[in-house]
Structure 1
Amino acid sequence: MNTVGIKDVALRAGVSMATVSNVLNRPDKVAPGTRERVEEAIDVLGYVPNMVAQQLTGSRSSGMVGLVLFDVRNPFLSDIARGAEDLLHTAGQPVMLCNTDVLPEKEERYLKLLAQQNAAGALVTPADLSKGWLDGLRARGLRVVLLDNTDAHPEVCSVAVDDVAGADAAVTHLLARGHQRIAFVTGPMHMRQSRDRLAGSRRALERAGRPADALNVVETSAFTVDQGRRAGERLLTVSERASGVFCANDLLALGVMQTAFRAELRVPDDLAIVGYDDIHSAATAGVPLTSVHVGGYELGKAAAELLLDEDRPGHTHRRLVFPPRLIERRSS
């Protein structure tokens, strides 16, 4: 049986082999009419790209993009993934979803794999962002767009939400409702999301004339409902229980709410709760959850656009920061 090669596709479509390669690897660089002729030739001939050969020649495989996220079960991150995937699909670039569990060694394995596969790039929620980490990616030739609110690395594109402002709005809301004892429940403090949302919470307290250390901070090991339940149990055992709780994401908030219900507390009369991310289930919780809306779908789409833009002449690295907004519901 004769093997169909890229030369056969080029002859049938009446184009050069370089044009066929561009259709396979960088379809956005090819005029729509030409791309359609090449794709038709591929379908008629049954051509299957040789990925090993592509890697040996240094081309970017099939234009694959890695989505390297710290917890793919998190609905907010799922929204980011969907926004990115929808846009990349229209550009003809497949997506590889990678879950790191905030483990640097697991993240490292995925990024190494993407580099070995000559991926077009990666959208990453970094486990531990540093200059050395970025230098390592560049040494591998892997382009990235960070899903991280940092202004310390202008040499790379990034997309994020202003978490300091979002947390400020959440705690300001609780203060306006008359809450004097406020707790902040968050995931691992080494993550930027936790640090920024803590900073915003303290900023709101200071502006209200309250000492920043008046905030009762409860750190958990993950941004999950189970960890929220455990945090809720800790909050209910202290002698001076908080009357208002701001959680660094909605999953934690829903877990705290479940614990409150089990303790026969009324939400918000006995315990007001505010979350962050405004995931779909926030509005349908037992008591609809007040939350800071951040638009994960739009975030993922913008990150994918920045990655695709790196192939275009005159590209400059940009940092896009989306403004959050508080969505008030019955929980507070």
Structure 2
Amino acid sequence: MAEATRVRVLTAIEELGFVRNEAARTLRKGSGRTLGVIVEDISNPYFTDLARGVEDASNAGGYDLIWCTSDGSPEKERRRLDFLEQQGVSGVVITPVALDRDRIARLRARDVRMALVDRRMPGTGACSVNVDHVQGGRLAMRHLIELGRHDVAFVTAEPESPPVRQRRGGALRALTRAGYAPEQVLTIAEEELTAEAGQHAARRLLEFGTLPTGIFCANDLLAIGLINELTRNGVKVPQDVAVVGYDDIAPAATCVVPLTTVCQPRHELGVTATELLLAGIDNQQVTLTPELVVRESAC
């Protein structure tokens, strides 16, 4: 865990008096030393990096893991939670899709604690770790504006998850603050946040005839697919179009045009969520800060 994050966690422990409830005692002293992990898509390097953080922190605490994926499906998420509950796990780290307060209460009644990644549910007892995605969106759009790319598009997926909505909201705020109308932003919505969806978005943009001069993609996979397709069609990145992604997954630095992106502390997200789970603090929330990484796609 980063030192600044560790200080926030320890400060919370001191302020709250570190009073454990029964579920917390079960987590530390119970017969089971197994945690469950549910991520949306293990094929996405973002979730792989996050999962690595959970693995490292769990191993350090002497816990084993049971891995599950929800594939973004509420029904599959429900089945995975049922399975982990049946396996008697002590706690669950989850990137939620449709998790609700009733399910959290049910799990806590069975002495199963919860750590949420990129979601907040205050008052449920679940701790959470988030990234300031509004700030991330601001960073991306402000960079495009500073490059003189005022005619912009936002490539996303529909329906948008809360983190993606926050990114778009931050980008629109930056545009408004710079004196431009948010209505001028062209939104291209695909079904998924994948490289294939990015390729499809690029083809849709090419059909318009006139390309925007700047494009902000909701994640790196979209941006990589989009850049590859634009390049195949003779569009020069960044000369014709500047592209900014979000996540800073490993392929971002090695795609055909290295990607400018907003870096999420992915490993730290996993570590911090697990540390909070093992510390047994109710309702503790930690927010991590993203950073802009400038490469050739928008420079």
TM-score under structure 2 length normalisation: 0.86
Task: Tell me whether 274-283 or 234-243 shows the greater mean CA deviation.
Answer: 234-243
Question: Does the CA-based 8 Å contact 1:66-1:123 persist in structure 2?
Answer: yes
Report the counterpart of residue 330 of structure 1 in structure 2.
296
Give CA-to-partner distance per residue, 1:14-47, whole Å, 9 cap, x none. xxxxxxxxxxx96x65xxxxxxxxxxxxxxxxxx
Counterpart of 1:258, as a letter, is N
- Equivalent residue pairs, number: 273
Classify the secondary structure of the residue corresponding to 2:188: strand
Question: Does the CA-based 8 Å contact 1:277-1:291 persist in structure 2?
Answer: yes
What are the within-5 Å matches in structure 2 for residues 157-172 of structure 1? 157-172=127-142
Please state how far the C-alpha of 1:213 moved relative to its aligned partner: 2.1
Distance in structure 1 (CA, Å) of the matches to 2:98 and 2:173: 25
Counterpart of 1:321, as a letter, is T
Please state how far the C-alpha of 1:241 moved relative to its aligned partner: 2.1
Give CA-to-partner distance per residue, 1:112-132, whole Å, 9 cap, x none. 111111101111111124434
Question: Does the CA-based 8 Å contact 2:101-2:124 persist in structure 1?
Answer: no
Distance in structure 1 (CA, Å) of the matches to 2:110 and 2:179: 50
Report the counterpart of residue 49 of structure 1 in structure 2.
none
Counterpart of 2:271, as a letter, is K
Please state how far the C-alpha of 1:159 moved relative to its aligned partner: 0.5
Classify the secondary structure of the residue corresponding to 1:275: strand
Say yes or no: does 1:259 pair with 2:259. Answer: no
Counterpart of 1:251, as a letter, is L
Distance in structure 2 (CA, Å) of the matches to 1:153 and 1:96: 27
Report the counterpart of residue 283 of structure 2 in structure 1.
317
Classify the secondary structure of the residue corresponding to 1:96: strand
Please state how far the C-alpha of 1:240 moved relative to its aligned partner: 3.7
Question: Does the CA-based 8 Å contact 2:195-2:223 persist in structure 1?
Answer: yes
Question: Does the CA-based 8 Å contact 1:149-1:161 persist in structure 2?
Answer: no
Question: Does the CA-based 8 Å contact 1:166-1:200 persist in structure 2?
Answer: yes
Say yes or no: does 1:148 pair with 2:148. Answer: no
Out of 239, 255, 258, the position equivalent to 1:285 is: 255
Say yes or no: does 1:245 pair with 2:215. Answer: yes
Out of 134, 141, 151, the position equivalent to 1:181 is: 151
What are the within-5 Å matches in structure 2 for residues 199-278 of structure 1? 199-278=169-248
Counterpart of 1:323, as a letter, is T
Instruction: Call closer, same or farther: CA 1:60–1:127 in 2, change over 3 Å.
Output: farther
Distance in structure 2 (CA, Å) of the matches to 1:152 and 1:308: 19
Please state how far the C-alpha of 1:154 moved relative to its aligned partner: 6.1
Distance in structure 2 (CA, Å) of the matches to 1:140 and 1:183: 47
Report the counterpart of residue 18 of structure 2 in structure 1.
none
Classify the secondary structure of the residue corresponding to 2:286: strand
What is the aligned-residue identity percentage? 38
Distance in structure 2 (CA, Å) of the matches to 1:188 and 1:158: 25
Give CA-to-partner distance per residue, 1:264-288, whole Å, 9 cap, x none. 1111011111011111111112111
Please state how far the C-alpha of 1:217 moved relative to its aligned partner: 1.4
Question: Does the CA-based 8 Å contact 1:161-1:323 persist in structure 2?
Answer: yes
Give CA-to-partner distance per residue, 1:274-305, whole Å, 9 cap, x none. 01111111111211110111111111000110
Please state how far the C-alpha of 1:316 moved relative to its aligned partner: 3.9
Please state how far the C-alpha of 1:203 moved relative to its aligned partner: 0.9
Please state how far the C-alpha of 1:143 moved relative to its aligned partner: 1.5
**Structure 1 stretches of at least 4 aligned residues deviating more than 4 Å after TM superposition:** 151-154
Say yes or no: does 1:304 pair with 2:270. Answer: no
Please state how far the C-alpha of 1:152 moved relative to its aligned partner: 4.6
Question: Does the CA-based 8 Å contact 2:243-2:259 persist in structure 1?
Answer: yes
Question: Does the CA-based 8 Å contact 2:104-2:124 persist in structure 1?
Answer: no
Please state how far the C-alpha of 1:134 moved relative to its aligned partner: 3.0
Greater Rg by CA:
1
Question: Does the CA-based 8 Å contact 2:94-2:114 persist in structure 1?
Answer: yes
Counterpart of 2:207, as a letter, is T
Report the counterpart of residue 55 of structure 1 in structure 2.
none
Counterpart of 1:65, as a letter, is L
What are the within-5 Å matches in structure 2 for residues 23-62 of structure 1? 61=32
Question: Does the CA-based 8 Å contact 1:185-1:217 persist in structure 2?
Answer: yes
Say yes or no: does 1:193 pair with 2:159. Answer: no
Classify the secondary structure of the residue corresponding to 1:135: helix
Say yes or no: does 1:93 pair with 2:63. Answer: yes
